[in-house]
Structure 1
Amino acid sequence: MKRRSFFKKGAQGALAAGLLPITGSVAAQNLETGETKLIHFNASKASKTDPKRRKTLEFDVAVIGAGMAGISAAVSAARNGARVVLVQDRPVLGGNASSEMRVTVNGVQGLKNKHKVERETGIVEELLLENWHYNPQASYHVWDHVLYNYVVREKNITLLMNTSAMDVVMNGNTIKSVICWQTTTETIFTINANMICDCSGDGLVAASSGAEFRMGREGKDEFNESYAPDKPDGWVMGDCIMMITKDMGKPVPFYAPDYAIPFDGEKAETTGHRKIKQVKEGFWWVEVGSDVDIIGERDEIRHKLMAYFYGVWDYVKNSGKHPEADNVVLDWIGSIPGRRESRRFIGDFILTQNDMLSLRHFEDAVAFGGWSLDEHNPGGIEDLSQPASFFHSRFSNIYEVPFRCLYSKNIENLLFAGRNVSVSHIALSSTRIIGTCSMMGQAIGTAAAMCSKKGIKPRGLYKKHINELQEQLLRDDSFFPNRPANDPKNKASKANLIFASSTTSGDVKNLLDGVSRDEVDKIHHWQSDGLNAEIQLEWEDSQTLTSVEMKFDTNLQRKINMHKNPTKHEDQPMEIPKELIKHFSVEARVKGKWIVVGDVKNNLTRLVKVKFDAVETTAVRVRLKETYGEPNVKMFEIRCY
């Protein structure tokens, strides 16, 4: 039979005769109408009538949103023993920091003290260090995959990409389920979880649950904030898109798209409010906000941002005012706006401008911040009469973020981290920075795991177990000031003797003082004199140990961010910090003989947990063999469990 004749028989001939395989799919064509219908021989009856797939999943903790706050929450919850699902509505991780938006993972900098920079530690630092190991070329697309590798290797995390949380099922004031839609697999997921962490920014899950929230600016009277407007209004800081350029080595013309909005660059530059300082990357001030509904207006805002951006670039290229741009072309322009502000959910405490500027101490502190009070101009690029940002105030030191800002006032099993936490509008102008958001994410992930394990709610954790939460965060290399670690389970603190083979700075006893970084004018480190140095702890009574945990130096007073503009890398390393330990071993004295219980090579982290089978020992010795380039080794903490 000829091939053409065979297919003409279609369902009437070949299918009826059973000549086609009994598995897989075929297309059968109706010769009268020309309609083609897919026939799947292995499909269930249900899938023939309803193409949507439905799955119900059970977890201890559900994290909605996989920006840097969500990643930190999911990983910390997983490492603390919880079964975690991480739901991300995009094909890449990282949120505003991903290749889709390319916002720098900034943290505390610009402090009015000798440190100036006070880098965040814990999960966010691990990610930045790994990035320079895997991605010294500073590629944002590779960065996406560094984040992906970091998440998927955690055995307790189930990652759902391209998945949007759409709704919730409530049981009174508790979220019972989150309903999600995965576009790539046409699957509806019903996610049941004990604890819900909304790290999505806009917070649809939290809002759908009925969690109380605010949008807009408080007036001066409510919190006595000097930088607040006289009267409350609905304005929120705007969205923006970014760009990256490259130099072609010869003049290249630029032709603006039809929808570009002309930019009055002469007015903007004359006033200094939108001065073109460089043409390599940016411009963050191409910003559009809203005083009505920035979420509902997002697509309109996206179009406006693209139109305004191309108007700015048309001015740069064609006004004749910037000859340095003659050879420069656009290499990448964002299509998804990066958002600064929308809903702020209400917790048991609202952090305000005055709490932060006074460096108020909180007994439930779980994170810190210190980026300037950086409120953007109401109107954004549509108001060239005012500066793009007011930069109201810099901080004299880092401020504390209390746990009560990170869980819902009225929904019992809901936590949040990122730009949607319980702060005033003015306070948000600092807390929204990605490094700070990441620390809050690590705090709520750890808290969620503890709540699930103990069968309690976040408010109960605050009232009865806040010390335990703080101790776990400090053990896992988070930090907050005015709260030294004092873990009763740490056997190193009970050692009868600690000594080192050499010292050039600090004191080896500082490794037990509970503070894992140097503070302004307060040393908390020990530093060796050369490599192949040793630290030893001795106990009079035998100890059963299964791990030794150490915190080493990565120079927390220096930036290690990845930037879009290559010139910004000139004053910071694009590699693993030279100060970091690279190779060391851990030994335990068992029945009078030293045995190696751990040998770490090519280390990439500040916090190193060396785990081993249980040993009975009266002494532990750490042999420090190699750094990434520094001649001495600096440490901040040693613990034994």
Structure 2
Amino acid sequence: MKNYGVFIVLIAFGLFLPSHTFLKTRPTQTYNADVIIYGGTCAAITAAVQVKKMGKTVIIVSPDKHLGGLSAGGLGFTDTGNKEVIGGLSREFYQRLYAHYQKEASWKWQKKEEYGNKGQGTPAIDGTNRTMWIFEPHAAEQVFEDFVKENKLTVYRNEWLDRSAKGVVKNAGAITSFRTLSGNVYQGKMFIDATYEGDLMAAAGVSYHVGREANSVYGEKWNGVQTEVFQHGHYFKKPVSPYKIAGDPKSGLLPEISAEEPGEKGSGDKKLQAYCFRMCLSNHPDNRISFPKPVGYDAARYELVARVFATGWRETFDKYDPIPNRKTDTNNHGPFSTDYIGKNYDYPEATYERRKEIIKDHALYQKGLLYFLQNDPSIPADVHQQMQQWGLPKDEFTDNNNWPHQLYIREARRMKGEFVMTEADALGKTKVPNSVGMGSYSLDSHNAQRYVKKDGFVQNEGDIGVHPDKPYSIAYGAILPKENECKNLLVPVCLSSSHIAYGSIRMEPVFMILGQSAAAAAVLSIENKVSPQKLPYEKLQAVLLKEKQRLEW
């Protein structure tokens, strides 16, 4: 009782405990399964379903309360590339969404015919394959929860890996167990790291990279610093002064601009492409909440976007991609938008407490931007008028003040595994060995920095979009650590890839594909009493083809 009394006093005075300091309300326990999956992403769910399909026991240890990662966190306008290469459980996910939207009850704020007839954006319904690639967050989350219920999956939520030296126990090069901050221990024969961050992989002593490699490392063109390369519209098309007093360097830089040099073109650095929240917005009067003025709001930090409007720029709503029921998947677009450029560099290696600060900072930035666009007198009348039509949907993310519960971690750690996927592989120019799935999206990297050019004007750097020649295969070795580093771990999300190749691979349908393939490899390795690195590929290939995975173009 004394501990609870202290806790109440701390709350009363605003002295909260660190976010991952737990009061022990139950004794610690040890849980066992053939396969232990760490993470709550879409890849974690498809992996667990596949383990169950193959007759083995599985436990999902999820730091997240909500399952599905970005697929259920606002990314409803799916980045698919060529849909023909999406197979297995990944395709089933989208088929289930199609079935959901065949029900009249699923169309609360809009008639189904109205959505289809208006052709809002890319056609959502693929009548031939009965799949739907555009959907609301809550609908996607329900599909993942249906997977859990139907397959009787064991999921422990709000369980955070102990990332200390004692958190992961290894014996003879293999993980035997890991511990969470609650004190619980999870023992298994095989482990899968399905997180966006790669925390289990890192804690297990597996080699990885953070940031952009120099082009010279893998003989690439689009990796590293890419100054004066503009392949999307996310750059300053007209000269804009970066200084508080336009044209006066002595006045200091405006907020959200770095004072650092961008680096030599093609060189490597530790910078990351920007993160953001994929925002679900509504323009239905009965289902929208006006953007609230966030605590800590400072209009001055958005002066740069006001100057962009002053140049005549009017692309504000180009990525308000329509999804069912008069909602959007709103993504970054333009030189100053929802991407919080340069504020995520320390995220991959950061403590849980520091990550929480970064996530909160990203939310404040985006909420402030929305409020600024909707209310600030510097906003042009036409933009202001259209912004007034939008708000947060009342029926999404209802336990998080209608704000997405998942930050878009576009890239964090990337493993250095048995095989490294590089630019040429992701452009379809090579034939990789032992395919476990396919990708087809363009090499897609968002901006990594905003800096001052030598001419005294502001510019962004890092935005790349290069289309592959054709869909490409992803090598089995790319989800495997080197055997001398870990003999019983598979990594389908923070897989082995260069920065720029990862720009194509990092799509949610691909993560589901690789999660399923990783699980099949884990089970077969148990059955054949070998490490995943020594598993005969022919045995894995046979199972994947049976599961309708697409492996070759």
| Both structures adopt the same fold (TM-score exceeding 0.5) | yes
Summarize the Cα distance change of 1:106–1:141 in structure 2 as closer, same or farther, 3 Å threshold: closer
Equivalent residue, structure 1, for 2:98 = 132
What code does the residue aligned with 1:324 have? Q
Once residues 380 and 370 of structure 1 are traced to their aligned partners in structure 2, the CA distance between those partners, rounded to angstroms, is: 29
SS in 2 for 1:287: coil
Q: Deviations over 1:428-466 (max 9, x none)?
A: 1111111111111111100000001111101101xxx10
Match of 2:318 among 267, 270, 277: 277
Q: Over aligned residues, Cα RMSD in angstroms?
A: 3.0
Aligned residues with identical type, % of pairs: 22
Aligned to 2:548: 477
Is the 2:74–2:280 contact (alpha carbons within 8 Å) kept by the matching residues of 1? no
Question: Aligned pair 1:209/2:204, yes or no?
Answer: yes
Whose strand proportion is higher, 1 or 2?
Answer: 1
Give the structure-1-normalised TM-score: 0.60
**Matched residue, 2:449:** 379
Query: 1:107 touches 1:436 (CA, 8 Å); kept in 2?
Result: no
The CA distance in 2 between the partners of 1:359 and 1:165, in whole Å, is 39
What is the rounded CA distance, in whole Å, between the counterparts of 1:181 and 1:255 in structure 2? Answer: 34
Supply the AA of the counterpart residue of 1:164. Answer: W
Cα 1:60–1:253 change in 2 (3 A) is closer
Q: Is 1:415 aligned to residue 471 of structure 2?
A: no
Name 1:628's counterpart in structure 2: none
User: Does residue 343 of structure 1 match 2:315?
Assistant: no
Aligned pair partner of 1:227 in 217, 222, 229: 222
Distance 1:452 1:261, change over 3 A: farther
Structure 1 residues 261, 321: CA separation in 2 closer, same or farther (over 3 Å shift)?
Answer: farther
How far did 1:256 drift?
A: 2.8
User: Secondary structure, in 3 states, of the residue corresponding to 2:74?
Assistant: coil
AA aligned to 1:120 is: I
**Structure 1 residues 56, 278: closer, same or farther in 2, change over 3 A?**
closer
1:324 paired residue number: 386
* Shift, 1:467, TM fit: 1.1
User: Which residue of the other structure, out of 302, 305, 326, is the alignment partner of 1:265?
Assistant: 305
Structure with higher helix content: 2
Structure 1 residue aligned with 2:338:
286
Q: Structure 2: how far apart are the matches of 1:252 and 1:417?
A: 37
Q: For 1:168-567, list aligned pairs within 5 A.
A: 168-181=168-181, 188-229=183-224, 230-247=266-283, 256-262=293-299, 263=302, 264-269=304-309, 270=311, 275-277=316-318, 280-284=328-332, 285-288=337-340, 289-296=343-350, 297-318=354-375, 319=379, 320-322=381-383, 323-331=385-393, 332-334=402-404, 336-379=406-449, 385-386=458-459, 390-409=463-482, 410-418=485-493, 420-461=494-535, 465-481=536-552
Q: 2:142 and 2:291 mapped to 1: Cα distance?
A: 33
Stretches of structure 2 lacking an aligned partner (at least 5 in a row): 2-22, 107-134, 225-265, 321-327, 394-401
Q: Any conservation in 2 of the 1:163–1:181 contact (CA below 8 Å)? A: yes
Q: CA deviation at 1:312?
A: 2.3
Mapped contact 1:203–1:343 kept (Cα < 8 A): yes
| Cα offsets for 1:20-71 (capped at 9, x unmatched) | xxxxxxx9xxxxxxxxxxxxxxxxxxxxx97542222221111111211111
* Residues 63 and 159 in structure 2, CA contact (< 8 A), matched pair in contact too: yes
Amino acid across the alignment from 2:530: I
User: Does the 8 Å contact 2:297/2:364 carry over to 1?
Assistant: yes
Distance 1:141 1:281, change over 3 A: closer
Task: Please state whether the residue corresponding to 1:169 is helix, strand or coil.
Answer: strand
Residues 449/107 of structure 1: CA separation in 2 closer, same or farther (3 Å cut): farther
Instruction: Note the residue ranges of structure 1 that are not aligned, 5 or more in a row.
Output: 1-26, 28-48, 110-115, 183-187, 483-641
Is 80-89 or 257-266 further displaced after alignment?
257-266
SS of equivalent to 2:463: coil
Separation in structure 2 between the aligned mates of residue 460 and residue 210 of structure 1, nearest angstrom: 20
- Contact 1:252 1:326 survives alignment (8 Å): no
**Separation in 2, partners of 1:77, 1:300:** 35
Give how far 1:129 is off.
Answer: 1.4
Q: Residue 52 and residue 224 in structure 1: after superposition, are their counterparts in 2 closer, same or farther (change >3 A)?
A: same
Q: How far apart, CA to CA, are the structure 1 residues paired with 2:405 and 2:487?
A: 37
Structure 1 residues 258 and 291, CA gap change in structure 2 (3 angstroms): closer
Indicate conservation of the 8 Å contact 1:108/1:119, yes or no.
Answer: no
- Pairing of 1:56-71 with structure 2 (within 5 A): 56-71=30-45
Amino acid at match of 1:106: T
Asked whether 1:160 is paired with 2:156, we answer yes
* SS of structure 1 residue aligned to 2:84: coil
Paired residues in the alignment total: 418
Please give the per-residue CA displacement for 1:196-247, whole angstroms capped at 9, x wherever unaligned: 1101121221111111111111001111111122222101223211323333
Q: Which range moves more in the overlay, 243-252 or 215-224?
A: 243-252
Q: Is the 8 A contact 1:367 1:480 kept in 2?
A: yes
1:62/1:84 contact within 8 Å kept: yes
> Larger radius of gyration, structure 1 or 2?
1
Against the structure 1 CA distance between its residues 162 and 299, is the aligned structure 2 distance closer, same or farther, given a 3 Å change threshold? closer
- Structure 1 SS opposite 2:273: strand
- Return the TM-score normalized by structure 2: 0.69
Deviation digits for residues 88-129 of structure 1 (CA, Å, limit 9, x no counterpart)? 11222101222xx322373532xxxxxx54351110111221
Q: CA 1:149 to 1:470, structure 2 compared with 1: closer, same or farther past 3 Å?
A: same
Residue 55, structure 1, aligned to residue 29, structure 2? yes
